[in-house]
Structure 1
């Protein structure tokens, strides 16, 4: 949205806010967010060179209990993930470390996240910025975690459809 604001009418983000706003988060949450993204990014890059076996090995070595999400919180479909699932983390990690992720107030945005997680990929400052920016809003699902599109598919689809069809 920040690269081509004239080409995008509206923007919906699920679970991951603008990373630059994480600097307002507690240090341990910042560490966990960066560790999670770096792990996923490295997992993708390593498996491009070595194949899917290393992805399975990396997933088994990942400290889920500290960094989350818990393996029990993940549906069997997602738990059978492949290295391709981690591709967006390569860009997210590179963009966040080079400060390329920017908030674009001229593009109406809806941010959706779940409260049932070990840490958030956004800060309260980001939510406040959305609240005061015309056309922007956020929704928190108290009963969902990282994969809102699966755990609350009907609610999320309804909210996204309402946002996209609104005149905001």
Structure 2
């Protein structure tokens, strides 16, 4: 179905709905193996972020518009029951904002590799080298968004290769870079502090130059007895680099929320 200008893909017949949202530089196909592992019991709903589909016109949505897209998809996919969000990268950034603004519509969250990145604690935890590294790749991609066209796409694909993205490079274009432009031009403000009250499964890659969460974040997650934190020996794209371990951890938590 099509909702709010995006194509929404639905697989599975389970009673519980999972809404899966990717980040940069991916599309809804990021979740292929996860859907295959879960669709026998769960209804899996996924979409490509607005503007990320290079077969459609470029878009530069606001934070409010992105949250509204999540809301429209959730309401269309599961009008009567709250959903479980399964989110990664920028899908987490925007998904957390949706969950904080609409807590009654989110039953639980599976968050992958992005925690409290809008907190003072996270910024304070980064050493100078990490801060320079973050600024370097984000400003590069913000510039690619500004330049657009073949130059912007070449810059984007080069950065994806440099960051060792395991995703298919063919769909990657400059159109995917608007979150970085937002980040450096005030487009992510005002954002709500990330502190979900629902149960959270936080899965992150341990083999990275730095974490995308503060040292306090795992303890905050585990303060809820129904929540869990899992670290895997991967980089940022956990679901692609160790799909069996990732899908197994997600399935076990979803099937046994009290385990």
| TM-score, structure 1 normalization | 0.72
**Distance across 1 between alignment mates of 2:226 and 2:254:** 11
* 2:192 corresponding residue in structure 1: 100
Instruction: State the Cα RMSD in Å.
Output: 3.1
Offset at residue 10 of structure 1 (A): 0.9
The equivalent of 1:10 in structure 2 is 108
Which secondary structure state, in structure 2, belongs to the residue aligned with residue 77 of structure 1?
coil
Equivalent in the alignment of 2:122: 22
Compare the two structures and name the one with the higher strand fraction: 2
Q: 2:248 aligns with which of 140, 148, 158?
A: 158
2:221 pairs with 1:130: yes
Q: Distance in 2 between matches of 1:118 and 1:3?
A: 32
> Cα 1:2–1:141, aligned 2, differ >3 Å: closer, same or farther?
same
Shift of 1:150: 0.8
Asked if structure 1 preserves the Cα contact closer than 8 Å seen for 2:221 and 2:229, the reply is: yes
Partner of residue 208, structure 2:
117
| Structure 1 residue 44: Cα displacement | 6.4
Retained in 2: the 8 A contact 1:10–1:107? yes
What SS does the corresponding residue of 1:9 show, helix, strand or coil? strand
Bigger radius of gyration among the two: 2
**What's the offset of the Cα at 1:145?**
0.4
Return the offset for 1:6: 0.8
Q: Structure with the greater relative contact order (CA < 8 A, sep ≥ 6): 1 or 2?
A: 1
Question: What's the CA shift for 1:46?
Answer: 2.1
When the two structures are aligned, how many residues end up with a matched partner? 155
Give the structure-2-normalised TM-score: 0.50
Shift of 1:123: 1.6
Summarize the Cα distance change of 1:17–1:92 in structure 2 as closer, same or farther, 3 Å threshold. farther
